[in-house]
Structure 1
Amino acid sequence: MQQFNPNQKLIYNPELRFRKEEHRCVAYTIDDFFYSPDKVSILLPQEVIMLLLFDGEHTFSEVASNMAYVFGMETNDDVDYKKVLFNSLEALEKRTNIQPLVMDIAEVEASLIKQTQDRYNDPSAFIIPKEKIIFDPRDLRLSAPLSVNYNVMTSCGFKCKYCYHPLVPVKELIPLERLNIVFKELKETGCESFMLTGGDPMLRPDIDELMQSLYEHGLLYSLSTKSIISEERIKKLREKAGLRGMQISLDAADGTIVRNVLGITDDEYFSKAIQMIKNLQKYGIEVRVKAVLTSYNADGLADYLNLLNDLGIKRMQVVQYGRSGTRHTDDLYPSDEQMKRASEVVRKFKEAHKDVELTAGGFEKAYDEPVIVEQVTKENIFEKRAICNAGRFSLTLMPNGEVFICEQLPYDKRYVLGDLKTQSLAECWNGELMQKWLNPPARNIFSENSPCKTCPEEYYNECHKVYSRCLRFIYEHTGDTLTADIKCPRYHFEKRRIT
């Protein structure tokens, strides 16, 4: 953690957001493009209040004195409250993995400082009576979702070679009239944002009206598509739906390669996509362009990045192709030499273009392999596990209004957690299917050779209540979901390449 000058004026990170729950507080970050909550962490009320004391108006030394006063610390010349404050920040950064928690105001735009100062006018609003506080940093089950991953359509007009989506048809669509009610409920319970994905969200007939409704309900949203959108439509989406940014997938600077990778026959698609980017920029809509690095486009990466730079794109992402559970061929993997050259191209581009946010680099082979420990213990059994966000702080919505565990699973009623077409948000979020997902299942659902059958009760309960098994990765390995999480050291499988 960086050191602070006692006279530095600091403000809490503008990407930070806070929520007060009945028994604890929640902190998370919101990025300025996808608006998606990240690094969700449980905080004590006093930790939130401490951070809000960094209002950009006071120096570090003054904040330390204010903290001592607010928390009723005894005045003592032998106590260095600046050190107490620094140690508290350092410990909180380590626990939440949110860095930095506070920033020098010189590093923050003036308009952003004002927004940050106005976001939480009264730190005392986060006070919770001591006797009501329940603090468990691993319990990420919130009273309502922070975000929605809306799988608007499970169909798509492209046949991308690298696509991970199951694309199982879900024909019935939740009506916009019903969505208007859902959007209102979500906004009232503190939902931050929607990520509109698919399939291709632009295939929903009333998608423009849907985006307008999100905008009118004050819900931030991001849109990812490969569809070509006309200039007139772009203009209307900017004016009526408040469209601020769009992610476009374009995999190469060569139109022939693009057509091949996307599985399309339109000879003019590439030129249309370039024109669409220019039209989006014309109406003040920020464009983020993403590519998947495969053996087909790796050799042209330098030309691709230079093309985007010439177009004025300031946000780019190149992700290495990864195996999925739906479709895969080994020829998509870039060769070792291609990955080495591509990594060098990225390094040089980043060095030459400091003003561009390029998320890429370090391309190399990666493998799924079993977690090996000498002896399974309470300390190591969950060491490699991540906490699934489904039903804890996020919600995946399917085209028909059903709530689903994960969009990367094939459509199956086993993975449905509720139905917002017929249930209120509260009924769905706290319903029987959701509770079933968040609690240990009966062991008889598992295959005979599954370690879940014989897992000690203590581990078995914690596995499902705190973490949940990652069904997506289990499905990719086995074609079903009836065994242990692949990061469980009690589960053994053959090592296999994934990137």
Structure 2
Amino acid sequence: MANISPALLHRIGNRLMKYVYKNPERNMLRLVKVAKFAAGGIYPKSTFEKPIEIIEDENNIWHKYLFEGIERLDRQAFTNIALTFAIDAGYVGTTTLRKKRDELECNIPWVILMDPTSACNLKCKGCWAAEYGHKSNLSLDEMRKVIREAKELGTHFFMFTGGEPLVRKDDLLTLVSENRDCIFLAFTNGTLVDDKFCEDMKKAGNLGLALSVEGTEETTDARRGEGVYAKVIGAMQTLKKHNCIFGTSVCYTSKNYEAVTSDEFYDMEIENGAIFAWYFHYMPVGSDADTELLLTPEQREHVYRTIRAKRDSKNGKPIFTVDFQNDGEFVGGCIAGGRNYFHVNSEGDVEPCVFIHYSDCNIREKSVLECLKSPLFHEYYKGQPFNDNMLRPCPMLENPEALVKIVNKTGAKSTNLNCPESAEELCAKCAHYAEHWAPKAKEIWEEKERFHPFTQYYRDTEEGKAELNQ
């Protein structure tokens, strides 16, 4: 496939998708088997074993999930995202960025997060963006620059955070329509979703939404404001009515961890049309961070075990769930610092992670590649993974001494727009948590043998780990 252009692959792909829709259950199996053959040398053959098993087993909950999704979702939107994911981000992008990583000796991300604006119409407890107000924005041309330069390196997936990205919905739709070879996802509180935006979203192309929700009406409104839960449910129902592709973004804390992992919560998401749920551990970032929201080891273990039980192919819940803090074994640990992603804030500062507010470069002054080769990002490149136990992936939350060393060595500056804090101040808020989570993480990690074939494609250097331990 090396000599076949992406345009030709898309033409072939569109014909194949029309073929799939004629008889989804029979023809999807044939399509996956073709992909298994075509993707040799890019992904291990085992990557395709699970999809084949799902398609062949009618009693597998993911069988129902797959084919009900194909039937319900907007056909053109699903086709566009499926082909862009497989061809541009998966085949072309992965091939390019792996080659560039080796050539340039730096991390090249699969996805980039950008904050179009710091503006938000809510003020959620524990959210650093709530402190910033309507102070800063990335211009449309600045976001175009990031996308253009990133695509040259092999990145074809972009996410919008904030602030509330849909404050800039017209600019987002422009970016999506201009870049049909990319996938876009916006994290949103859902309060600005309406019928017109849903139709515009489908016309623009490859755009999905992740709606923030914190469990029950009580737990959501307690953190996000009275009446917000009802608005989010309304947004989900509107998106479902228009057959749009969307899911949820869930921040779990010591206060809501049971609510957001309950059967009732999962059933609510599924009933209202969400096809994925992304779970994020609360991070004590910002001057008003509440460390009481950090989970105890037992509470985090509950999240770990409950979410994995919900994925069970026979007795689970049919919604694609990722628990970013507890699923490190599937991606080789920390994915920040450009290893799989990085973050550009609304001031243009390039940060290793959406939760790590330190930077030594700005997209207004440097190219994407120059930022990836900066001292701060190079320390991530050398140091990952920050722990051999992938239940302790983060250089801040579970290994706070690592972030202190990195920031002090590189001279990276705090990018907190209101109240800059030193790495020592930030990581001090995590020290007690890290100390008490470590033995529980060891206990869980050693329950079984851990290995996943995807990890072989990440660059982990022994010298980097040794330097962090000095």
- TM-score, normalised by the number of residues in structure 1: 0.52
* Cα distance in 2 between the residues matched to 1:248 and 1:386: 25
Distance 1:396 1:257, change over 3 A: closer
Partner of 2:253: 294
SS of 1:418's equivalent in the other structure is coil
The answer to whether the 8 Å contact 1:292/1:319 transfers is yes
User: Partner of 1:481: helix, strand, or coil?
Assistant: helix
Correspondence for 2:200 among 213, 229, 237? 237
Residues in 2 aligned to 1:329 and 1:404: alpha-carbon distance in whole angstroms: 23
Q: Tell me, yes or no, if the aligned pair for 2:112 and 2:343 is still in contact at 8 Å.
A: yes
State the AA in 2 paired with 1:217.
Answer: N
Alignment-mate amino acid for residue 171 of structure 1:
K
Unaligned runs of 5+ in 2: 5-30, 56-65, 71-78, 327-331, 387-393, 411-422, 425-430, 441-470
Q: Contact 1:226–1:249 at 8 Å: present in 2 too?
A: yes
**Are the structure 2 counterparts of residues 18 and 171 from structure 1 closer, same or farther at C-alpha, using a change threshold of 3 Å?**
farther
Residue number in structure 2 paired with 1:416: 360
* Pairs aligned (count): 345
1:152 equivalent in alignment to 2:116: yes
Deviation at 1:167, TM superposition (A): 5.0
Compute the displacement of 1:222 (Å). 0.7
Q: Distance in 1 between matches of 2:377 and 2:325?
A: 36
Asked whether the 8 Å contact 2:117–2:136 carries over to 1, the reply is no
Write the letter of the residue equivalent to 1:275: G
List aligned pairs for 1:58-457, cutoff 5 A: 100-103=46-49, 119=87, 141=106, 146-163=110-127, 167-168=131-132, 171-203=135-167, 206-218=168-180, 219-242=182-205, 244-253=207-216, 255-262=217-224, 264=225, 266=226, 268-300=227-259, 301-319=262-280, 321=282, 323-324=284-285, 327-330=289-292, 333=295, 336=298, 340=302, 343=305, 347=309, 350=312, 351-353=314-316, 355-359=318-322, 389-390=336-337, 394-410=341-357, 415-419=359-363, 421=364, 423=366, 425=367, 428-430=368-370, 434-437=373-376
Amino acid at match of 2:161: T
Contact 1:405 1:416 in 2 (8 A): no
C-alpha displacement at 1:223, in angstroms? Answer: 1.0
Separation in 2 of the partners of 1:236 and 1:208?
Answer: 13
* Distance in 1 of aligned mates of 2:340 and 2:311: 37
Is the CA contact (8 Å cut-off) linking 2:186 and 2:208 kept in structure 1? yes
Query: CA separation in 2, counterparts of 1:202 and 1:150?
Result: 13
Change in Cα spacing, 1:476 to 1:151, as seen in structure 2 (3 Å) is farther
The letter for the 2-side match of 1:305 is Y
2:362 is paired with a residue of what secondary structure?
A: strand
Distance 1:307 1:105 in 2: 26
Identity between Structure 1 and Structure 2 (%): 15
Contact 1:170 1:400 in 2 (8 A): no
SS of the aligned residue for 1:235 comes to: helix
Shift of 1:276: 0.7
Contact persistence 2:123–2:130 (CA under 8 A): no
Amino acid at match of 2:369: W
The answer (yes or no) to whether the contact 1:347–1:361 under 8 Å persists in 2 is: no
Contact 1:146 1:191 in 2 (8 A): yes
What secondary structure sits across from 2:269 in the alignment? helix
Alpha-carbon distance between aligned partners in 2 of 1:273 and 1:173, rounded to the nearest angstrom: 25
Quote the offset at 1:346 in angstroms. Answer: 7.0
**How far 1:261 moved relative to its partner?**
2.2
- CA gap of 1:103–1:115, structure 2 versus 1, over 3 A, is farther
Letter in 2 for 1:496: E
The Cα offsets for residues 339-360 of structure 1, whole Å up to 9 and x where unpaired, read as 6599569737855445332446
Q: String of CA shifts for 1:271-300, please: whole Å, max 9, x gaps.
A: 221111011111121221233333433454
Map of 1:31-50 to 2, 5 A cutoff? none
Give the superposition deviation at 1:407. 2.9
1:7 aligns with none
Please tell me the residue identity of whatever aligns with 1:355.
P
The CA distance in 2 between the partners of 1:188 and 1:57, in whole Å, is: 28
Aligned to 1:313, the other structure's residue is in SS state coil
Counterpart of 1:197, as a letter, is T
Alignment map for 1:445-484 (pairs within 5 Å): 466-467=382-383, 472=396, 474=400, 481-482=407-408
- Give the distance between the partners of 1:390 and 1:18, measured in 2 at CA: 32
Amino acid of the structure 2 residue aligned with 1:482: N
**In structure 2, what is the Cα distance between the partners aligned to 1:247 and 1:341?**
20
Against the structure 1 CA distance between its residues 313 and 480, is the aligned structure 2 distance closer, same or farther, given a 3 Å change threshold? same
Alignment-mate amino acid for residue 263 of structure 2: A
In the alignment, the residues of structure 1 paired with residue 236 and residue 118 of structure 2 have an alpha-carbon distance, to the nearest angstrom, of 25
Question: Residue deviations 1:208-242, cap 9 Å, x none?
Answer: 22332233222211111114124234234324432
Q: Is the 8 A contact 1:244 1:284 kept in 2?
A: no
Question: More helix by proportion, 1 or 2?
Answer: 2
* Higher relative strand content: 1
Q: CA RMSD in A?
A: 5.4
Match of 2:435 in 1: 496
Label 1:293 to 1:100 Cα distance change in 2 as closer, same or farther (>3 A). Answer: same
Note the alpha carbon deviations across 1:391-440, whole angstroms, 9 max, x for none: 56644322133433433233x6xx13233x355x3xx5237x9444456x
SS at match of 2:408: coil
Q: CA deviation at 1:100?
A: 2.3
Partner in structure 2 of residue 368 of structure 1: none
Structure index of larger Rg? 1
> How far apart in 2 are the matches of 1:141 and 1:297?
38
